[in-house]
Amino acid sequence: MNVAAIKLSDNLKVGDKIQIKGHTTKLEQEVKKIQIDRKEGTEAKKGDHTGIKVSEKVRPNDKVFLVE
């Protein structure tokens, strides 16, 4: 299981589409689960430290973007 730990710079909710980019990472997927302080939720706010299950390996310093 792969998980991305992210400090949010904007709000995020289940169902949003995100893109994760890095030197060797390029991934686009829908957010299916969000954890805040090890508790599952449906949305997270700017400044929250969250965990998101991802389909591929991600690395420190990869950037996360909201796809609109």
List b or e across 17-32, with b for residues whose CB sees 16 or more CB atoms inside 10 angstroms. ebebeeeebebeeebe
Instruction: Give the Cα separation of 43 and 57 in Å (integer).
Output: 23
- The answer to whether residue 37 scores a pLDDT higher than 90 is no
Range 24-50 average pLDDT: 94
Domains defined along the chain, listed by start: 2-67 (2.40.30.10)
pLDDT tens digits for range 4-18: 999 999 999 999 999
Model confidence at 24, in pLDDT bands (50, 70, 90)? very high
Quick one: pLDDT at residue 1? 72
Q: In what order do the strands lie in the sheet with 63-67?
A: 26-30, 17-21, 63-67
pLDDT tens digits for range 43-57: 999 999 999 999 999
